[in-house]
Amino acid sequence: MLHRTHQVAMAAALVSLGLGVLGTPAGAAESVRLNYRGFSRSVPVALLTALAETGESSGSLGGLLDQAGQNPAELRSLLTRPLPVNSVVLDRSLNSGPGEWALDQLGESIHTGAGEADRQALRSALVLSASDDSQITLLEVLQKYPTEEVVLEGDRIQDSYNSLASFLRPLAIFL
């Protein structure tokens, strides 16, 4: 009996450790490769955070937005627009057929650079984003993405955001 209890405790500790590693800044994206209208540039997540907080685009982010003719205010709005959702309900929903479809749709806009384990990485980032405040923002998803670099297809992000909002809308009743 003690042996079984010890195994369960050890498994719980390992799961907690694994989730903690995903949620720490060291395990989160440090840069975002932004692709806009044929232009591509790697941008530190800190520049996107600064845009979200101040409305100012600078450095490589400002240059990319200028080249692509993208309005920084529009990107700021997309980065900070919250979608309310319960993280437990979200996790369960994303592990269903419709949830996997939603992940695949959003994964066309937000994905790993290598194109491997995109669904799992995105699921993790979404659930971690919702876990602390029962809402998701694109900025939080990028900040919590569990790879060093995440790719954001700027030309597709509005459509993907709309698809995610449609998927999450029925889940908001669980708040």
Domain limits, the chain: 29-41+81-174
Q: Which of 6-20, 25-39, 98-112 has the highest mean pLDDT?
A: 98-112
The Cα–Cα gap between 137 and 22 comes to 17
Longest dimension (CA), the chain: 66
What is the three-class DSSP state of 39? strand
More confident residue, 118 or 31: 31
Tell me the per-residue pLDDT of 98-110, one tens digit each, with 9 for 90 and over: 899 889 988 988 9
What is the three-class DSSP state of 60? helix
pLDDT at residue 63, as a whole number = 86
Helices (H), 24-156: 45-54, 59-68, 72-80, 87-94, 97-107, 118-131, 138-144
Residue carrying the six token digits 């939603």:
102
Residues whose CB falls within 8 Å of the CB of residue 82, separated by 6 or more in sequence, listed in order: 135, 136, 137
> Is residue 149 very low, low, confident or very high in pLDDT (cuts 50, 70, 90)?
very high
Tell me the per-residue pLDDT of 55-84, one tens digit each, with 9 for 90 and over: 999 888 888 888 888 889 998 998 999 999
Within a 13 Å sphere around the CA of 175, how many CA atoms are in the beta-carbon half? Answer: 15
